[in-house]
Chain A
Amino acid sequence: MINFDSIKHVRGESQFVYDFIPFEKVLYAYVFYSPVAHGIIKKINLDNALGIPGVRYIFTYKDITGENQVGGIIQDEVLLAENEVDFIGQPIALVVADNFLTAKHAAKLIKCDIEELPSIFDPREAFQKGSLIIPPRVFSLGDVDEAWKECDVIVEDRVESGSQEHLYLETQGSIAFPVENEGIKIFSSTQNPTGVQRVAARVLNMPMNKIEVDVLRIGGGFGGKEDQATHWAVLTAMAAKKLQTAVKLILPRQEDMRITGKRHPYSTDFKIGLKKDGKIVAYEVTYYQNAGAAADLSPAILERTLFHTTNSYYIPNVRATAISCKTNLPPFTAFRGFGGPQAMFVMECALYKASQVLGIDYHQLQKINLLKDGDEFPYGQRAENCRAKVCYDSLEKIYKVDEVKGRIEKFNNQNRFIKKSYSIMPVCFGISFTTTFLNQASALVHVYTDGSVSISTAAVEMGQGVNAKLINIASRVFSIPPTRIKLETTNTTRIANTSPTAASKGSDLNGFATMEACQAILKRLKKLAATELKIEDENQIEFKDEVVYCKGEKTDLTWNKIVQKAYVNRVSLSAHAFHATPGLYFDRDTSKGHPFAYHVYGTALIEVTVDCLRGTYKLDSVQVVHDLGETLHPVVDKGQIEGGIVQGIGWMTMEEIIYDKRGKLITDSLSTYKIPDVYGAPEKIEIHFLENAPNDFGPFKSKAVGEPPFMYGIGAFFAILKAMNVFRPGLEIKFIAPMTHERVLMTLYSEVKEKVRL
């Protein structure tokens, strides 16, 4: 099974937004943004910039004909700054010129007089000063205050996890152009076409039906283009409408890194109580989420942190508090895992620290506390078809963890400065948008008279292979080869009111919708075939490999013939289907309900080698047992797991976002912000799909795959930590991620470090 999109990729024939050349004339835009983190705009002078030949227009908030507002969940974010700026990178003006370099040059000549105000960058400081996005949220189970009394040991600590740049290879971008009837068409690199349409309508003061958003594919999203692709699309729409010509805005890499939001950094306090035998009795945790200067998706991300506070473990008494803190950094946004990784990292830190105090092996402690069927999550849902233990046990067996331990011990005895270690990371991730109403999708399926099929859905293809999966679903329902099916662009005129392609839910939602649309057509064709074959019961008709079978017998009717007959008999060959995930509810007042259709489980074994002289490390292997249900597309699913793992490892190891004291991003290029390269990725990754694990809540018994594997990467942090502990037993550790080379060395040599003369 292959992903047909990849044939175009390897030939360089796949188009991305900036590849479209459908216009005689296109103008180029460049964003002028705030150079200070917080301040009042006193004066802005565009004269010098406008004097440059080739500059067509410079837009400021004054040019906005509708509402200057891009906020989704909370309407607290302007498109172009008015009187105040709240972060470095906040768009103030848009320069439109004949070519890119002219626009960029002109932007440098804009004079903007800003009176600086005090800034906050630290979430705890923001909390103390009452600078919050929303009031704190609390999830609780059992009675934590009472439970402490039952504990034999109680361990507390603080955990810091860092931000992360999406680094989609295709930067943010959009082309907009005017169409007749005072309309605007937008080609946007977005995960959320309807979001773009809705905000464009609001900002341009136009009805939504006059704005068409079309997405062919995007060059990676990872959440970074869920909410934050909107700004650029709307800016081009505004410019195209005013200037009545096509306008293109592609963010250069450095601007993309400086202006757009990233994964939320969290600062967290935890307190965990256990029995002597290792059973966790109580867990109290307070997350300080650094949300940046506007809400963006932070409240939803905050909520998912709470949903995943106990990861793959059962804890009877939990109180988790999450605080979304408003600071003067670019608004942080969705990123694969959506707040889940931050929670799970803290949970593992708590277990690791508890294991040291208790003297029980860390992985033993994980096993003792794994979730099982019927266990209640802090949000009230109970674990069903729980596969935490079967994944963990299979992992130990398949990858012979006992032998790994022995091999590592032998190596460590023979090497003085080079130490190896391993870690095991279980993951349990809930599938569904936690905002229940978003769990809806539609599909429009056409069968043409030659038997070829066209599918439109709400799903955006961003490399996650959703198109390949949808083709596979249609191919299975119709029993025709995948080559006869085409996935259309995601377009708001064909499929309306779409949810963003996010929450790992794209294939589930759109897969069911596609399946239901195909089934509707199939049902009509079966009925027609029954008539043609003169039988009463259409259920005795079956379609197999493009041939119609009746009562199990092959007939002369083929797919092509029956489609032709349908057309001639005026039977509709098109269907639109709507799917809403059944059974979901969640009460935000009580923080209880049934927010997830199901959970994805899995466990990873990570091995590392740490050079304790130089403070560097190497990822030797990651081996996984992962619960996919029944895979819809093995090549795609494997790729999602492998890619997720390496992103997760990057977050935990080398990827470090650094701001200076003024809130300016220092790591604003690929030369300073490093993601794993071919050598930085694990030398070996092995994925084992858990067998006999059908899922009743996914199309063709499948499970979602996008986000859960990201969190296997968390194991890299603990594997490195364990190796450091081998070199220096009793080492005092701080739970600060990412574990960069710098942190490894500074931790290992803390007493030497203090004597280093500066």
Chain B
Amino acid sequence: MTRFILNNELVETGLPSGYVLLDFIRKNKGLTGTKEGCREGDCGACTVLVGEYHNTEIKYINVNSCLMPIGSVNGKHVVTIEGLNTNKLNPVQEAFVYEGGTQCGFCTSGFIVSLMGYIITNINYKFEDAIEYISGNICRCTGYEGIKRAIWRALNEISKLKINSLRNYEEYRIELVKYEIIPDYFLTIKEKLKQLNSIKQEDLKIDRNYLVGGGTDLYVQKLEELVDKNVIIISNDESYREIFLSGKEIYIGGGCTVSMIESSEIIDGYYPELKDFLKLFGSKQIRNKATVAGNIVNASPIGDLTNMLIALGAKIILSSGREKRTLSLKDFYKGYKNLDKAPDELIESIIIQIPEGKYLFNFEKVSRRIYLDIASVNSSFFANVENGYLSNVRISAGGVAPIPLYLKKTSKLLENVHLNSELILEAANTAQREISPITDARGSAEYKSLLLRQLILAHFQKFYSELVKPEIIFQWEV
């Protein structure tokens, strides 16, 4: 039995836990405000909010309901556009009406839900942050200009109410209710969720063959296989969702989402660059669901997070329930979608070393579209630097081989050397000899090869701009 609160209604269903939330909302509950545009998390028309009771507060996230098994909202609060409507238009809705933020209307509820997600979860507003909340919403009519105007207007209107100085979400949400920005039932949800979560869960007849992390890839690839199964939602298990420091190592639970890494103070304390790099990973909605272990085990040659983790020298802990073993991430991949992993093993956690001394860390990604797109080629670079010498150099490359690639020779070439322009060019050229790109929708093999060269130059251009000049980068042989 799956139990959750849908808007203001307690829902109990015996449907398989792998059944898709979008279908449940539209077909089973007849709430048609949530739209289906692509069923692969690339348009945001199906965006809903999911609220989870955690440490005395309800935390809401924006998700693509088309990629959500209902099992993953068990014990949570699901909010659709219908659940956000009050008797009058809220400031976001009103701004969309007056500023031309909507034309055909098909994408609109997704945008409104995303932005209300922003309003509900942020006490202090910043235009850029609000825009990030719609990074996973596509509109074909407006060109986004009317939507941007509407966001300005809405944030401005709500700011006038002077509720942005409140300390905690509870007080803030009371004010949001007072001004009819959200419906009043929101204030009752906390108690309802507490109650709901106190009911002991009877064990589902789960099928161990179907493990789902965030589902953001599985539900694109294997929808038909999963909808009638009682899948296991790994990320429902708290023990897989922790990030903690142990000695000189940061442990990241396999079920942690990309958003959790983005907002982790521990990770930010050691690798503050990472959160900016992760903005290039999927969309807000996807990052809220996609898990670290999922990204690794999916073995996509162009996985962004995997690419970064390889350069950070990450290790993974594989657990079969009986035994555990630790493996360097770069050695995990044997061939295309072929892993050094037994069927009963799952990635329990990921370990990264905290940096010692001064280091350089960079991530480069070029795709057809800069945001919410899969890379044509991506590359990460890490090195310690002392007295002008590089050590522990690790460069990774995605999209240029059947696996997420660690550029062994290129990395080695730069170990313990004093950098100069020629060496950088040689590194860029060496990388060419370690790769085997193919032509596909993301670019020709020839392009990907050239692009990797450029991205390696870009790593150095970032840290040693005086060594990477237009005059020299057209040279080939050095």
Does B347 reach chain A (CB closer than 8 Å)? no
B477 to chain A, nearest CB (A): 8
Residue contact B144 to A646, C-beta cutoff 8 Å: yes
**What are the residues of chain A within 8 A of B89 when measuring CB–CB?**
7, 10-11
With A105-B224, A217-B105, A658-B441 as contacts: A642 and B473 at CB distance below 8 Å: no
B-side contacts of A757, CB under 8 Å: 432-433, 449
Q: Which of B32, B103, B137, B444 has the most CB of A within 10 A?
A: B103
Other-chain contact of A643, B33, B105, B141, B446 (Cβ < 8 Å): B141
Which residues of B sit under 8 angstroms from A73, Cβ to Cβ?
none
* Nearest A residue (CB) for B448: A742
B140's partner among A220, A464, A679, A756 (CB-CB below 8 A) is A220
B96–A220 CB distance below 8 A = no
Interface centre among B80, B92, B473 (most CB of A within 10 A): B473
B52 within 8 A of A: no
The B interface, classified by DSSP as helix, strand, loop or mixed, is loop
B40 within 8 A of A: yes
Q: Is the CB of A670 within 8 A of B138?
A: yes
A42 beta carbon closer than 8 Å to chain B:
no
Q: A645 in the interface, Cβ–Cβ < 8 Å?
A: yes
Q: Are B368 and A3 in contact (CB under 8 A)?
A: no
CA distance A634 to B473 in the complex (A): 50
Q: Is A35 among interface residues, defined by CB-CB distance under 8 A?
A: no
- Taking a contact as CB atoms under 8 Å apart, the answer to whether A465 and B33 are in contact is no
With A11-B33, A12-B34 known to touch, is A642 a contact of B143 (CB < 8 Å)? yes
Chain A residues with CB under 8 A of B36: 18
Contacts of A749 in B (CB 8 A): 450, 454, 474
State in angstroms the CA–CA spacing of A746 and B476 once bound together: 15
Contact A742 B444, beta carbon cutoff 8 Å = yes
B105 touches A8 (CB 8 A): yes
Q: Is B303 an interface residue (CB 8 A)?
A: no
Interface centre among B85, B140, B371, B457 (most CB of A within 10 A): B140
Taken together as a complex, chains A and B put the C-alpha atoms of A706 and B100 apart, in Å, by 15
A21 to B32, CA, bound (A): 10
CB of B131 to closest CB in A, whole Å: 6
Contact B39 A252 (CB under 8 A): yes
Q: Does B297 belong to the interface (CB within 8 Å)?
A: no
Chain B residues whose CB sits within 8 angstroms of the CB of A170 once the complex forms: 35, 37, 104, 106
Return chain A residues, CB-CB under 8 Å to B100. 3, 6, 635-636, 638-639
Question: Do A220 and B104 touch (CB < 8 A)?
Answer: yes
Least Cβ–Cβ distance between A119 and chain B, in angstroms: 20
A578 at the interface (CB under 8 A from B): no
The interface bits of chain B over 434-460 (1 if a CB of A lies within 8 angstroms of the residue's CB, else 0) are 000100111111110111011101100
User: Is residue B227 contacting chain A, with contact meaning CB distance below 8 A?
Assistant: yes
Q: How distant is A473 from chain B, measured CB to nearest CB, in Å?
A: 19
Residues 203-245 (chain B) with a chain A CB within 8 angstroms: 220, 224, 227
Give the CA-CA distance A16 to B367 in the complex, in Å: 33
Give the complex CA separation of A568 and B445 in angstroms: 79
- A656 contacts which chain B residues (CB < 8 A)? 368
Closest CB-CB distance, B208 to chain A, in whole Å? 24
- A167 lies within 8 A of chain B by Cβ: yes
Q: Assess the B131–A678 pair: CB atoms within 8 A.
A: yes
Do A220 and B371 touch (CB < 8 A)? no
Whether B139 sits at the interface, judged by CB under 8 Å, is yes
> What is the bound-complex CA distance between A745 and B450, given in angstroms?
8
Q: Give Cα distance in the complex from A101 to B18, angstroms.
A: 15
Question: Beyond A614-B454, A741-B376, is A10–B96 a contact (Cβ under 8 Å)?
Answer: yes
Given A10-B102, A745-B450, A745-B454, are A646 and B93 also a contact pair (CB < 8 Å)?
no
Which B residues lie within 8 Å of A618 (CB)?
370
Task: Write the chain B residue with the least CB distance to A746.
Answer: B447
Establish whether residues B441 and A169, one from each chain, have CB atoms under 8 Å apart when the complex forms.
no
State whether A742 touches B447 (Cβ < 8 A): yes
Task: State in angstroms the CA–CA spacing of A6 and B100 once bound together.
Answer: 8
Q: What residues of A have a CB within 8 angstroms of the CB of B372 in the complex?
A: 677
Docked CA distance A613–B428 (Å): 13
Which residues of chain B from 78 to 127 have any CB-CB distance to chain A below 8 Å in the complex?
80-82, 85, 89, 92-94, 96-109, 112
Closest partner residue, chain B, to A753 (CB atom): B450
Distance A394 CA – B99 CA, assembled complex (angstroms)? 25
Per a CB cutoff under 8 Å, which of A21, A654, A727 touches B369? A654
- Is A219 touching B454 in the complex (CB atoms < 8 A)? no
Please measure, in the bound complex, the distance between the C-alpha atom of A612 and the C-alpha atom of B469, giving whole angstroms: 11
B45 sits at the interface (CB 8 A): yes
A652-700 CB contacts (< 8 Å) to partner B: 654, 656, 658, 666-667, 669-672, 674-682, 685
- Tell me how far the C-beta of B135 lies from the nearest C-beta in chain A, rounded to whole angstroms: 6
A166→B442 CA distance, assembly (Å): 20
Q: Determine the chain B residues whose CB is within 8 A of the CB of A658 once the complex forms.
A: 441
- The answer for the CA separation of A681 and B449 in the assembled complex, in Å, is 28
A680 touches B34 (CB 8 A): no
Of A12, A463, A654, A753, which contacts B104 at CB under 8 A? Answer: A463
Are A16 and B142 touching (Cβ within 8 A)?
no
Contact partners of B32 in chain A: CB under 8 A = 12, 15, 19, 21
Residues on A with beta carbons closer than 8 Å to the beta carbon of B451: 614-615, 745
Given contacts A615-B451, A677-B369, contact A169 B137 (CB under 8 A): no
Contact-residue size bin, chain B (C-beta under 8 Å from the other chain):
35 or more
Please give, as numbers and ranges, the residues of chain A lying within 8 Å of B433 by CB-CB distance.
Answer: 757
Cβ of B42 within 8 Å of any chain A Cβ, yes or no, is yes
* Assembled-state Cα–Cα distance A745/B367 (Å): 12
Give the CA-CA distance A747 to B42 in the complex, in Å. Answer: 30
Q: Which residues of B contact A642 (CB under 8 A)?
A: 142-143, 145-146
Q: Which of A205-222 contact B (CB under 8 A)?
A: 217-220, 222
User: B146–A638 contact, CB under 8 A?
Assistant: yes
Known: A677-B135, A746-B446. A670 touches B368 (CB 8 A): no
Q: Chain A CB within 10 Å — which of B42, B82, B92, B453 has the most?
A: B42
**CB–CB B140/A675 < 8 A:** yes
Given A217-B104, A217-B105, A616-B370, also A169-B447 (CB < 8 A): no
Interface string of A139-178 (1 = CB under 8 A from B): 0000000000000000000000000001111110000000
- When distances are taken between beta carbons in the complex, the residues of chain A under 8 Å from B80 are 12
Please, how many angstroms separate the alpha-carbon atoms of A698 and B262 in the complex? 54
Closest-CB distance, A263 to chain B (whole angstroms): 14
Write out, one digit per residue, whether chain B residues 341-383 have a CB within 8 A of any chain A CB (1) or not (0). 0000000000000000000000010111111111010000000
- The verdict on B134 contacting chain A, using a C-beta distance below 8 Å, is yes
Closest to B109 in A: A12
Given A642-B145, A685-B143, A757-B449, CB of A253 within 8 Å of CB of B39: yes
Q: Is A400 an interface residue (CB 8 A)?
A: no
Contact, CB under 8 Å: A10 / B108: yes
> Which of A7, A171, A417 touches B470 (beta carbons < 8 Å)?
A417
Q: Of the candidates B33, B34, B369, B474, which one forms a contact with A676 in the assembled complex, judged by CB atoms under 8 Å apart?
A: B369
Q: Is the CB of A752 within 8 A of B453?
A: yes
**What is the distance, in angstroms, from A20's C-beta to the closest C-beta of chain B?**
9
Confirm or deny: A751 has a beta carbon within 8 angstroms of a beta carbon on chain B: yes
Residues of B within 8 A of A217 (CB): 104-105
CB distance from B97 to the nearest CB of A (A): 5
Closest residue on chain B to residue A222 by CB atoms: B140
Contact of B143 among A635, A645, A669, A752 (CB under 8 A): A645
CA distance A670 to B458 in the complex (A): 28
Taking the complex as formed, is A47 at the interface, i.e. its CB lies under 8 A from any CB of chain B?
no
Contact code string A441-478 (vs B, CB < 8 Å = 1, else 0): 00000000000000000000011110000000000000
Are A670 and B105 in contact, CB atoms less than 8 angstroms apart? no
Give CA–CA (A258, B145) in the complex, Å: 30
Is B1 part of the binding interface, using a Cβ–Cβ cutoff of 8 Å? no
B97 x A10 contact (CB < 8 A) = yes
A169-B43, A670-B38, A672-B441 known; 9 new pairs, CB 8 Å cut-off, are A10-B108, A13-B33, A14-B108, A636-B100, A647-B143, A679-B135, A679-B371, A745-B450, A756-B453
* 19 A-B residue pairs with CB within 8 Å: A6-B97, A10-B92, A12-B112, A15-B32, A168-B104, A169-B45, A217-B104, A253-B40, A417-B461, A638-B146, A644-B143, A647-B140, A674-B368, A680-B369, A741-B366, A742-B443, A752-B450, A756-B449, A756-B450
